Amino acid sequence: MGDVTAGTIQKESRKHSGQWTIEPPFDERVRDLVEDWGAEKTPELIEEMIVTALKIARDEMGVADLKLINRSLKELRYAAKVFANYKGVRKVAIFGSARTAPDTPVWRMAEEFGREIVKQKFMVITGGGDGIMGAAQKGAGRENSFGLNIRLPFEQRANPIIEGDGKLINFNYFFTRKLNFVKETHALALFPGGFGTMDEGFEVLTLMQSGKARIIPMVLLDLPNGRYWETWTNFVRDDMFKPGYVSSEDFSLFKLCHTVSDAVKEIGHFYKHYHSTRWVGDQLVLRLTQKLSPKAIADLNKRFANIVREGEIAQGKALPAEKNEPEIWPLPRLILTPHRRDFGRFRELIDAINLAETS
């Protein structure tokens, strides 16, 4: 090799990877810039972002588009920086009306939910406003709360619990805000609310149903005598399921709960044996907290044969592609090659795993 450095080898490898290019002189200048800056983690992605920005300059976009792209990237970058400090902590996103009056029964229910879910080692994420959001954060406490606030001409100001906290993130765009809700949360709790609550709920259901987001527990909370979510479920069943617009398996993606204890139990049980999921090519890797018994594996193969495209559900170890997650490397795995459809069945598989016999 002579005096060729490791950095030169890495740059040459990226140079011929075909991942990005603009013009040879500029390609080299981008690589040098990133190397000089000291981007040690996935420098090729940083290089690609810079090249994208240079291509945008040649596209002669209008100022409005440039501002939107620039501001979006800054919002995403800042939010990722805030959440990075809490990467190892599971979080529950809580939605509901900002107009719910303090000390009403459903407000107190949201406060109790925030208090009880924190006892289960979760943090809470809300929109940072008043009503249900403020109630949940009062229960959870400032230290266990994130607020994803949106700039609006009315209603949406930060509640006193999260105002001024470093975990309060202000967004200009709904889509960057919603992306962070979905990206960072490990469970979803919806209380009665307006258009925004419906929007968030249907978006998460759409993403899970279509396989564009990981499966997480979604609980719909209301008072013991409340009819809000029953009315919603009747609509989904009568006007969406019966005409064939959704499948029966899609009803496994959410659960109605009329008590805080039921909602907390549903979320906690989801993570009893199941830990997380990752796609490695066509293979779905389910990380577990405990190994399952051979009998349990045989039962899963029998019950869920219809979601397996080839082979079978096998218990094994981490795949080489997972080496960038060393903190969960030792966890046992279930590995399968499934059809990428009927994702409600994936939720049913997770439920079966959590009820399965361990070895």
List pLDDT tens digits, range 104-131.
999 999 999 999 999 999 999 999 999 9
pTM for this one? 0.89
Decide if pLDDT at 12 tops 70: no
Residue-wise pLDDT for 77-109, tens only, equals 999 999 999 999 999 999 999 999 998 999 999
Q: What is the dihedral of CA 290, 210, 95, 78, to 10 degrees?
A: 80
Beta pairing, strands 274-280 & 218-221: unpaired
pLDDT of residue 297: 97
Query: CA 289, CA 273: separation in Å to the nearest integer?
Result: 5
> Domain boundaries in the chain?
6-60, 86-270, 274-355
End-to-end CA distance of the chain: 50
141, pLDDT greater than 90:
yes
Segment 323-328 shows an average pLDDT of: 92
pLDDT digits (tens, 9 = 90+) for 205-260: 999 999 999 999 999 999 999 999 999 999 999 999 999 999 999 999 999 999 99
Nearest-5° Cα angle at 249, 248 to 250 = 90
Cα angle: 22, vertex 54, 75; to 5 degrees: 135
Is the CB of residue 212 less than 8 Å from the CB of residue 224? Answer: no
Does the pLDDT at position 68 exceed 70?
A: yes
What is the pLDDT at residue 158? 84
Task: Tell me the two tokens of residue 73.
Answer: 């990237």
How is domain 86-270 classified at the CATH fold level? Rossmann fold (3.40.50)
Average pLDDT estimate for 147-154: 82
What pLDDT, on the 0 to 100 scale, is given for residue 22? 80
CB 209 within 8 A of CB 239: no
Res. 197 pLDDT band, cuts 50 70 90: very high
CA atoms within 13 A on the CB side of 235: 8
Angle, helices 195-209/174-184, rounded to nearest 10 degrees? 50
Contact (CB, 8 A) for 329 and 323: yes
For residues 14 and 42, the answer to whether their CB atoms sit within 8 Å is: no
The rounded percent of the chain whose pLDDT value lies above 90 is 85
